Each structure stands twice: as C-alpha cells, then as structure tokens.
Amino acid sequence: MRIDVVSIFPEYLAALDLSLIGKARLQGLLELSVEDLRRYTTDRHRTVDDTPYGGGAGMVMKPEPWALALEDVLERGAAAPGPAAPGAGTPPGERPVLVVPSPAGEVFTQAVARELAEREHLVFACGRYEGIDERVVDWARERFEVRPMSLGDYVLNGGEVAVLAMVEAIGRLVPGVIGNPESLVEESHSDGLLEYPVYTKPALWRDRPVPEVLLSGHHGRIARWRRDLQLRRTAARRPDLVAALDPAALDRADRAV
Ligand code: 6GU
C-alpha cells in the first residue's frame, strides 16, 4: 500500500516513523511519504490561505497549491511499482482514495478502516479546520475517490492528528503489519462490541484478585464470561453500538459461545 500525506506541518507526521507503522515501512509493507504543501506555492511568501468569500472568521486554503500537490502525488503514484502488479503502480480502474479530514466528514469507523486497508493508494489532504476551497474537492473527484472523514463530533485545529489516527487504524490492518493476525479478531469493534477486560500476573495485586473464572482453566466458562462482559460493557458505555447490532446475528453469535 502506498500512502501520501500533504500538510503544511509535515513534522506532525514524524510519529509515523515509529512503532508498528514505522516497522511496516522499513519492511516495505507500507510506502509512506509526507509532502509539505508550501513546496507547491509560487509566491515569495509561500501563501497557502486567504480570506473567505462571503465573509466570516478565519482563513480558507487556496486551491492552486492543493491542485499542484495532488497532481504531483498522482504522478508519482502512477510511476511507483505496486506489489500487485510490478511496474504498474495503481491498478488501472482503481482510482486512488483522497481522504479529506474534516469535522464535517463521514465518521471514520473500524468498517471504514477495513475498507481503506484494501486499497492500493491512499492520499490524505490535511487542511486547517476552516477548510480548503471547495472547488478542490470537485476537481479532485475527477481524479480520486474523495472521502471527507471525521474522527468524531469535536473540532481539531487541523487534519494532522486525525491522519495519525487514521493511518494507524488502517495500516495495522494491512496483511503482515501485525505479527499475529489473531490479535485483530478479539479486539474492540471487530464484532460490533467493545472488548472484554483483561488481566495479567500477579493473581492477587493490592488486595485485588483476578476474576476467579480466568484461573479455572475452563475454556467454555471463560468464553461465556468474556462474552457477557462484552455485552454489559457495550450496553453501559455505548448503547448506540448495541442499537446498531442485528439482534438475530447477536443471538446466533451468543449461542456459539
Ligand atoms: Cl478529521 N479534522 C478536524 N479538523 N477536526 C476533527 C476531525 C478531523 N475529526 C474530528 N474533529
């Protein structure tokens, strides 16, 4: 998978050199580059924003640096050898995805992360929250599959922190990035429920024992206990998730435990 990020604060994305995602890059599983939007300005002051037409607070990002940056990213993506088809880059017929982080976007969920983890080329366009001139989005729709994406109902100053979260959520689903793929099966949101609580040694810590069932060695009872805690926890913390579940599928999954 190839990922390009365009930002006026490329240093923000330095965290993607670390940990699992950093390792995946070294292994060649992910090819990630970060571009400074200001490289694509043409004036002496390297201006990326201007006042909004129609008035209002804040500034709006100018369209031309974005078009030049995205054209550059497309050109390099087309030339890059992709693992699926050596020497071909992005497969013909599959347009790259342009993710535009914005509090006005569609909510980024585990389902979206799974979907994007299947794509060959993702491009993230970090704007400041007043936004990018809307004509860039219209222009980009002819070249990309455009996905305005929000992390949730709160406002960040720019898209960079959201991109760190999205790239981590997507990158860990790319085959080979996580050493033990089993760990993707029993985590929160894998089945629409929150994860059960976990414990490690010592069995008694500061007068607090580990739930006895976990020491029983009885796999059936442990699975039942974990499932019940998942359900209780999800009902208490995230009633919206419970409401979204298909009751028949939930019953079937429950009887299988
Ligand atoms: Cl993706 N961007 C910004 N600027 N703010 C956000 C967000 C994204 N998600 C939640 N708040």
Tell whether 236 and 114 lie within a shared domain. no
Do both 139 and 232 map to the same domain? no
Whose Cα sits closest to atom 8 in ligand 1? Answer: 102
- 18-22, 42-46, 82-86, 190-194: least confidently modelled range: 82-86
Tell me, what's the ipTM?
Answer: 0.96
Are 119 and 213 part of one and the same domain?
Answer: no
CB of residue 151 inside a 6 A radius of ligand 1: yes
Binding-site residues from annotation for S-adenosyl-L-methionine: 127, 151-156
Scanning the structure block, which residue is given the tokens 């939007």?
37
- The percent of residues above 70 in pLDDT, for the chain, comes to 95
Distance in angstroms (rounded) separating the CA atoms of residues 244 and 147: 23
Res 187: pLDDT = 87
As a whole number of angstroms, the distance between CA 196 and CA 231 comes to 9
Asked whether 159 lines ligand 1 (CB < 6 A), one says yes
* Residue 181, pLDDT score: 87
Q: Strand 145-150 and strand 97-107: pairing?
A: parallel
| Alpha carbons 241 and 194: distance in angstroms, whole number | 9
Quote the ligand 1 centre to 12 CA distance (angstroms).
15
Does residue 150 carry a pLDDT above 70? Answer: yes
Task: Give yes or no for a contact between 155 and 103, defined as CB atoms under 8 angstroms apart.
Answer: yes
Higher-pLDDT residue of 149 and 179 is: 149
- Counting from 1 in the atom list of ligand 1, the atom nearest the Cα of 127 is 4
- Residue 250 C-alpha to ligand 1 middle, in angstroms? 32
SS in 3 state form for the chain? CEEEEEECCHHHHHHHHCHHHHHHHHCCCCEEEEEEHHHHCCCCCCCCEECCCCCCCCCEECHHHHHHHHHHHHHHHHHCCCCCCCCCCCCCCCCCEEEEEEEEEEECCHHHHHHHCCCCEEEEECCECCCECHHHHHHHCCCCEEEEEECCCCCCCECHHHHHHHHHHHHCCCCCCCCCHHHHCCCCCCCCCCCCCCCCCCCEECCEECCHHHHCCCHHHHHHHHHHHHHHHHHHHCHHHHHHCCHHHHHHHHHHC
- Does the beta carbon of 153 lie inside 6 Å of ligand 1? no
Mutate to test the pocket of ligand 1, among 9, 61, 99, 102 (most ligand atoms within 8 A of CB): 102
* Ligand 1 touching residue 112 (CB < 6 A): no
Q: Work out the pLDDT band at 82, boundaries 50, 70, 90.
A: low
Lookup result for tokens 């976007």: 105
221 and 114 inside one domain: no
Ligand 1 near 148 CB (within 6 A): no
Boundary-marking domain end, from 127, 156, 181: 181
Q: How many domains does the chain have?
A: 2
CATH number at residue 194: 1.10.1270.20
Q: What pLDDT is attached to residue 120?
A: 97
CATH classification of the domain holding 144: 3.40.1280.10
Q: Please give the distance, rounded to the nearest whole angstrom, from the Cα atom of residue 39 to the centre of ligand 1.
A: 24
Q: From atom 5 of ligand 1, which residue's Cα is the shortest distance away?
A: 156
Q: Are residues 18 and 129 in the same domain?
A: yes
Domain of residue 105, residue span? 2-181
Q: Is 53 in the pocket of ligand 1 (CB under 6 A)?
A: no
Domain ends where: 181, 200, 234?
Answer: 181
Q: Determine what percent of the chain is predicted with pLDDT higher than 90.
A: 81
- CA–CA gap between residue 246 and residue 85 (Å, rounded): 39
Average pLDDT over residues 236-249: 93
Instruction: For residue range 11-55, list pLDDT tens digits in order.
Output: 999 999 998 899 999 999 999 999 999 999 999 999 999 999 999
The domain boundary, picked from 162, 181, 200, lies at 181
Can you give the pLDDT at residue 116? 98
pLDDT tens-place string over residues 199-231: 999 999 999 999 999 999 999 999 999 999 999
**Distance of CA 160 from the midpoint of ligand 1 (Å):** 9
Q: What is the pLDDT of residues 169-184, one digit of tens each?
A: 999 999 999 988 888 9
Q: Which atom of ligand 1 is nearest to the CA of 101?
A: 1
Query: Nearest-CA neighbor of 62 among 8, 124, 142?
Result: 8
Q: Are 114 and 89 in contact (CB under 8 A)?
A: no
Which atom, in ligand 1's list, is nearest to the CA of 149? 1
- HSE value, Cβ hemisphere, 13 Å, CA-based, for 161: 10
One domain for residues 36 and 109: yes
The mean pLDDT of the chain is 93
